[in-house]
Amino acid sequence: MATRIEVHDATRLRWARERIEVASSPRQMLDEVVGAVVRNATWRGSECLNLLAPEAPMSPTVRALLSAEVGQRAAEGHIGPEQRWFAGTRHIDEIEALCVELLKEVFHADYADHRLVASMIGNLTVYTAMTRPGDTVMSLTQPMGGHSSNRPDGPAGVRGLHVEDVPMDATELTVDLDAFADSARRLRPTLVALGASMTLFPLPVREIVEIIRPWGGRVFFDGAHQLGLIAGGQFQDPLAEGAAVMTGSAGKTFSGPQSGVIVWNDPSLTEPLTTAIFPTLAATHQVNRVAALAAAAAEFLAFGEAYMAQIVRNAQALAAALEAHGITMLGAHKGFTRTHQAIADVRAHGGGLKVARLLEGADIIVNKNLLPSDTSADWDRPGGLRIGTTEVTRWGMKEPEMELIAAFIADVVLRRRPAEAVRKDAIALRRSFPSLHYCYPLAAGAAPAL
C-alpha cells in the first residue's frame, strides 16, 4: 500500500475520521461540524483574551453581511452591465461600486479594487502586473518581520523573481538606509516590497523611493497589518509618501472580512493591476464579502480614527507594563511601538512556543514570533512573542486593562502562577467587556435570516 503523505497533524485527522465513522448519519456528521464551531465561539469568542495581531472582531453589520443572500450570486468580471459574464447583476454592481468608492475614500487613493479573496492574492497581483520573471525584487527577511508572500517561498517566488534582502537595523527595527542604498544600486530591483508582519515603527518609504527612482524601481507597500492604522491616520501613509501601490488584509487592523484590499494612484497601473485580478487571479469573488468590506469601510469613516488611536495607545501601555514586570520588549528605547503590536523577547523564559502554550492554558492567546536574532534553525521555536491589541480595544478595553493583562502574562511567565487561576481572572476580565465599540448597531436588513 502506498504511504500516505499528509502535512496535517495525523492525530487531528484521525480524531475527525473517528467522529465521522461513529456518526450514525450524515446529519450527525453535520452536527459534529457545528459542534466544533460552537465550542470555538464559546471559548475564543467569549472567554479568551485574544491578542493575536492578525485578528480583529467584525462589527455586527459586517459579520451579518457575510451570510447575506448575495453570497450565493455569481458575478465574474468588472463592474457594469457589459463587462460581466452573467445577467442579473444590477444590484451587485451597486454593492461593488459602493465598495470601490468607499475604499478610495478611506485610503485617499485614486484607484481601488475589491475582488481579492486574500491579501496574499493581492501581492501576487502586484508581482504579476509589475514584474517579469527573472526580475530582482527586495523585501524584508522573516526574522525582521517579512512575510512569505514577498519571499522566495511565496507569490514572489512563484513569479520566478530573484528575491534579495532589504538590509535592516536590528536595534532600530527599520531599514539600514546606507546599506540599502549600496545593495539597491548594485541589484537595481524592479520593486522593493516594504511592510511586515512584525511591525512596530514606520519605514523610510520616501527615502527608498528616491534611491530606486533612477532605474525606474518602485516601492510596493504591503500594508497587510497596518491597513486600518493607515486608514485611521495613525501610521505613515505609504501612497502619499510615494509608494506606487499598496495591498493589505481587510481582516487585520481594518476589522473587515478576512480578504484583501489594493489601492494605487498611478493611472498607468490601472490596466495591468486590474487585468491581473480579472481574468488572471480572481473569478467568483464572494459578493457577500464585498458587501461586508464596503460596510467596514463606511464604519471606518465614522470610527476608524478613534479606534486606531486607542489600539496604538493600548499597545504602548501593554508593552510598557510588560517591560516594567521584567519581560524584555523590543523597541523599548523608541517608545516600544507605533502600531497595534508589542514584541516580547522570551528567550530567557523558554522561548516563544513554550510561553505561547503556557498562556493559552490561561486563555490568553498570542503567537510565537521570530526575533531579529533568530536564524532559520529557530523557525519552529523562535525566541519571541507577538502581542496585538486590536480585539481587546474593540471590546472597549483601555490602558488600565492593559496593565491587568500585563500582570496576567507576568503571573504566568515569570511567577509561574497556575494557568487555571489566571484563566479565571482572564475570563472575568473578558466578560466584563461584553459589547463591541467603534461601530454602529446592527443595520436593519443586514440580519443573517435575510
C-alpha cell belonging to residue 90? 444590477
Closest separation between CB of residue 416 and ligand PLP, Å?
32
By CB under 6 A, which span of 113-121, 332-340, 342-350, 373-381 interacts with ligand PLP? 113-121
- Characterize 149-165 residue by residue with b for buried, 16 or more Cβ atoms within 10 angstroms of its Cβ, and e for exposed: bbbeebbbbebebbbbe
- 156 is an interface residue for ligand PLP by CB under 6 A: no
By CB under 6 A, which span of 222-230, 291-299, 320-328, 372-380 interacts with ligand PLP? 222-230
Closest separation between CB of residue 128 and ligand PLP, Å?
15
Instruction: Return the residue of 63, 151, 225, 394 that touches ligand PLP, per CB under 6 A.
Output: 225
Considering the complex, state which of residue 118 and residue 269 has its C-beta at the smaller distance from ligand PLP. 118
Considering the complex, state which of residue 150 and residue 190 has its C-beta at the smaller distance from ligand PLP. 150
Closest separation between CB of residue 414 and ligand PLP, Å?
29
- 142 is an interface residue for ligand PLP by CB under 6 A: no
Region 247-266 residues binding ligand PLP, contact defined as CB under 6 A: 249, 260
Closest separation between CB of residue 300 and ligand PLP, Å?
17
264 φ, ψ (degrees, to nearest 5): -160, 170
Closest separation between CB of residue 55 and ligand PLP, Å?
11
Closest separation between CB of residue 148 and ligand PLP, Å?
8
Closest separation between CB of residue 428 and ligand PLP, Å?
31
Closest separation between CB of residue 150 and ligand PLP, Å?
7
Closest separation between CB of residue 333 and ligand PLP, Å?
25
Which amino acid type is present at position 130?
M
Considering the complex, state which of residue 126 and residue 362 has its C-beta at the smaller distance from ligand PLP. 126
- 228 is an interface residue for ligand PLP by CB under 6 A: no
The contact pattern for ligand PLP, residues 4-43, with x = CB under 6 A and - = no contact, is ----------------------------------------
Instruction: Return the residue of 50, 89, 141, 197 that touches ligand PLP, per CB under 6 A.
Output: 197
Q: Taking the chain, what is the end-to-end CA distance rounded to the nearest angstrom?
A: 50
Q: Could you write out the three-class secondary structure of the chain?
A: CCCCCCCCCHHHHHHHHHHHHHCCCHHHHHHHHHHHHHHHHHHHHHCCEECCCCCCCCCHHHHHHCCCHHHHCCCCECCCCCCECCCCCHHHHHHHHHHHHHHHHHHCCCEEECCCCCHHHHHHHHHHHHCCCCCEEEECCHHHCCCHHHCCCCHHHHCCCEEEECCEECCCCEECHHHHHHHHHHHCCCEEEECCCCCCCCCCHHHHHHHHHHHCCEEEEECCCCHHHHHCCCCCCCCCCCCCEEEEECCCCCCCCCCEEEEECCHHHHHHHHHHHHHHHCCCCCHHHHHHHHHHHHHHHHHHHHHHHHHHHHHHHHHHHHHHHCCEECCHHHCCCCCCEEEEECHHHCCHHHHHHHHHCCCEECEEECCCCCCHHHCCCCCEEEEECHHHHHCCCCHHHHHHHHHHHHHHHCCCCCHHHHHHHHHHHHHCCCCCCCCCCCCCCCCCCC
- 224 is an interface residue for ligand PLP by CB under 6 A: yes
**Contact yes or no for 354/240 (Cβ under 8 A):** no
Closest separation between CB of residue 346 and ligand PLP, Å?
21
Instruction: Return the residue of 96, 222, 237, 299 that touches ligand PLP, per CB under 6 A.
Output: 222
By CB under 6 A, which span of 91-99, 114-122, 129-137, 170-178 interacts with ligand PLP? 114-122
By CB under 6 A, which span of 3-11, 190-198, 282-290, 296-304 interacts with ligand PLP? 190-198
Region 71-90 residues binding ligand PLP, contact defined as CB under 6 A: none
Closest separation between CB of residue 322 and ligand PLP, Å?
22
Instruction: Return the residue of 58, 79, 109, 118 that touches ligand PLP, per CB under 6 A.
Output: 118
Instruction: Return the residue of 147, 151, 338, 368 that touches ligand PLP, per CB under 6 A.
Output: 147
- Characterize 67-77 residue by residue with b for buried, 16 or more Cβ atoms within 10 angstroms of its Cβ, and e for exposed: ebebeebebbb
d(CA 209, CA 217): 8
By CB under 6 A, which span of 191-199, 310-318, 391-399, 413-421 interacts with ligand PLP? 191-199
Distance of CA 264 to the CA centre of its chain: 19
d(CA 288, CA 73): 9
Closest separation between CB of residue 256 and ligand PLP, Å?
11
Considering the complex, state which of residue 251 and residue 351 has its C-beta at the smaller distance from ligand PLP. 251
**Chain positions contacting ligand PLP, by CB under 6 A:** 54, 118-120, 123, 147, 149, 195-197, 222, 224-225, 249, 260
